[in-house]
Amino acid sequence: MGKQQISKKSDAASFYQVVWRWHFYAGIIFAPFLFILAFSGGVYLFKPQIESYLYQDMLVAATTEGVPLSYSSQVESVLESYPNATISSVVIDDDPSRTTEFVVSEDGVGSSVFVNPYTGDIQGKLNNEAKFSEVFKKIHSELLIAGTIGNRIVELAACWAVILLVTGLYIWWPRNRRSIWGTILPRFSKKGRVFWRDLHAVPAFWLSAFILVLIATGLPWSGVLGPQIQNVAATPQYAYSFGEKPESITLTKDVVDEVPWANENVAVPSSQQSNYIPLTIDETVGIFNEHSLSCHIRYQCRRGIMVYTRPHICNSPLTWPLCTWISIVVRF
């Protein structure tokens, strides 16, 4: 009997050492990537505030006197200043003191041109790749390594973070210890290894659920797991099991840059050719305003498709995840 107990204790100690090694080496390899992701994600969270300060001279209209020009007139102003440019989208802000942002492509380079809506003057031009938010977005999603490699490293680090959590909780789990000190509260009176162990393990225990939520909500944007999650959550194959299935070669993400994750792979509605006159951007803005839709409006033109889209139920940043998008699509 005594030998069996000793054998069980020996097996448990051996398994504990294996888990500890997994936790240690996983932390050594992937902790630097996790620090980069945490920092870049935290900075990107304050994108509106940071860019409003950095690009204030371009985002805020120098003159706000008089009646705003029509958006068609502003389009003409952009094309006069940049005759070789192609306008791909227009972002209109509800704030009357803000400029109108025209996203253009010139010689294969994407840029944002900011127009004063009251005078039609160009207040600035900014390379989209050099934007503060784009730099940190690339760091967060690709480690600033363009292409698939960086994205896969980020996804691998996120998945190994789950292993770090599981192995860390196993190591933390109290064994024959009834005191709350060193388990759910750190022992500040201790020194050396015990102090640093508690300072690492106890806060990690309290934050483990929050960290797991962060990982789980980030994986839908990854390159491997992302499409699989989206197929189940957003566009399951069994959703149209009855009747004729709609087919479309154009997805929402192909014609709209900023779109909620759940709507990225939703097929764009198609329409038959008709004799109707295509809507202008001014007419579309009027339609949205008639329905009291708030936040930004985005006009896009790609591959012969004009798309006007605007988020609905988006009165504050706190309700952004609950936004739905209303789009008017015109083919020509």
- Paired tokens of 212: 């797991």
Residue with tokens 């992302």, as numbered in its chain: 226
Query: How many domains, the chain?
Result: 3
Domain range for 92 is 63-120
The answer to whether residue 126 sits within a structural domain is: no
265, 276 contact by CB (below 8 A): no
Q: Are residues 109 and 141 in the same domain?
A: no
pLDDT at residue number 122: 94
Secondary structure letter of residue 107 according to DSSP = T
Predicted model pTM: 0.73
> Considering 173, 193, 228, which residue would you say is the last residue of a domain?
228
Q: Are residues 218 and 263 in the same domain?
A: no
How much of the chain, in percent, has pLDDT values that exceed 70?
A: 69
Q: Are residues 143 and 40 in the same domain?
A: yes
Q: Are residues 272 and 172 in the same domain?
A: no
Please tell me the distance from the alpha carbon of residue 32 to that of residue 28, in angstroms, as a whole number.
Answer: 8
> Considering 120, 144, 166, which residue would you say is the last residue of a domain?
120
Mapping DSSP onto H, E and C, the string for 221-236 reads HCCCHHHHHHHHHCCC
Q: Are residues 212 and 325 in the same domain?
A: no
116, 73 contact by CB (below 8 A): no
Q: Are residues 224 and 145 in the same domain?
A: yes
pLDDT at residue number 305: 46
pLDDT tens digits, residue range 162-181? 999 999 999 888 876 666 77
Q: Are residues 173 and 105 in the same domain?
A: no
Q: Are residues 31 and 141 in the same domain?
A: yes
Please tell me the distance from the alpha carbon of residue 154 to that of residue 39, in angstroms, as a whole number.
Answer: 13
